[in-house]
Amino acid sequence: MTIQTVAVVGAGQMGTGIAQVLAIAGYDVTLTDVSAAALETALSRVSANLAKQVERGKLQGIDGKAAVGRIATRVALADVGRCDLVIEAATERESIKHKIFDDLVPHLKPGAILTSNTSSISITRLAGRTPHPDRFMGLHFMNPVPVMQLVELIRGIATSAETFSAVHTVVERLGKTPVIASDYPAFIVNRVLIPMINEAVFVLHEGVGSIVDIDNSMKLGANHPMGPLELADFIGLDTCLSIMQVLNEGLADPKYRPCPLLVKYVEAGWLGRKTGRGFYDYQSEAPVPTR
């Protein structure tokens, strides 16, 4: 299983970052999204990011131009079916991911590998809807992809050794560090991280501390680079809630109950940086706590 061409499904922040690091590593990338505007924005973002790397001396100008040239964009999902590897990086909703794989399967080349960048959903369950679950696994990049060095590799119950080896090789070629996680809800990183964020929201909900004091406590008292509420805004409160719901449903332990305040913020559409308001309001020059 030698991988030369890679398709990335979803031109959001994660998909764009994944396409960028693949192109820099020399892979021919097809980036697809239902929105032509999203694809245009993604290419502009990649070009700007690579220009900054050239400016900082981390990348040669000719290499940056070549990387951008290796990314093709397509609106039709069927157009990515001839790639050796597909990385699904769509919204963290299982129904959407199933729909993508259902639509993609008829167009796949023989031997193609399917992967999901899901941060919490069962790889075995996603694979079970495809005709070749042995050629399916989890490939979870961290955000922001160009900066973060870790990638979680998750085998489904049917994932073959050949599939795992091929995907592992891709991660190494990207210069990332792979860790192997079992197919349990939220895997390793989010199994630890998101409940911590949820607990920080409970601390706020119960009036134990303010938004600023909670974040400063963890930054200065635990040496975290970002406070948990600031980080939640960066991740997206809807994503945090979705992962907590997966943990709550999958492990049936009350310690994974989503904080009611987190639910309320999501219901209000206060999803963090991407909507301009979450635990902080980002409308002004400096973020302002919303409570």
Q: Tell me: the pLDDT tens digits for 116-138?
A: 999 999 999 999 999 999 999 99
pLDDT on residue 221: 98
pLDDT on residue 60: 81
What mean pLDDT do residues 209-219 have? Answer: 98
What mean pLDDT do residues 84-110 have? Answer: 94
Cβ contact 241:92 at 8 Å: no
Q: Which domains does the chain have, with CATH numbers?
A: 5-181 (3.40.50.720), 191-289 (1.10.1040.10)
Catalytic, 98? Answer no
In whole angstroms, give the CA distance from residue 3 to residue 182. Answer: 24
Mean pLDDT score across all residues of the chain: 95
Is 57 a residue whose pLDDT tops 90? no
**Catalytic position from the list 117, 120, 122, 190:** 190
Is 86 a residue whose pLDDT tops 80? yes
**Catalytic position from the list 116, 122, 140, 198:** 140
What mean pLDDT do residues 169-187 have? Answer: 96
In whole angstroms, give the CA distance from residue 174 to residue 85. Answer: 14
Percent of the chain with pLDDT over 90: 90
- Of 63-72, 115-124, 227-236, 273-282, which range is least confident? 63-72
β-strand partners of 289: 280
Cβ contact 178:151 at 8 Å: yes
Is 61 a residue whose pLDDT tops 90? no
Tokens of 197: 């964020």
pLDDT on residue 1: 73
> DSSP character for 105?
G
In whole angstroms, give the CA distance from residue 117 to residue 139. Answer: 5
Q: Is the peptide bond before 144 cis (omega within 30 degrees of 0)?
A: yes
Long-range contacts of 125-129 (CB under 8 A, 24+ apart): 125/94, 126/94, 126/97, 126/98, 126/101, 126/156, 127/156, 127/158, 127/159, 128/156, 129/98, 129/101, 129/102
* Interstrand relation of 288-289 and 280-281 (parallel, antiparallel or unpaired): antiparallel
Catalytic, 199? Answer no
Catalytic, 216? Answer no
Is 199 a residue whose pLDDT tops 80? yes
**Catalytic position from the list 119, 120, 160, 242:** 119
Q: How confident is residue 139, by pLDDT bands cut at 50, 70 and 90?
A: very high
Q: For residue 18, what is the enclosing H or E element?
A: helix 13-24
CA 90 to chain CA centroid, nearest Å: 8
Catalytic, 140? Answer yes
What mean pLDDT do residues 222-239 have? Answer: 96
Is 239 a residue whose pLDDT tops 80? yes
pLDDT on residue 256: 97
> DSSP character for 254?
G
What mean pLDDT do residues 204-213 have? Answer: 98
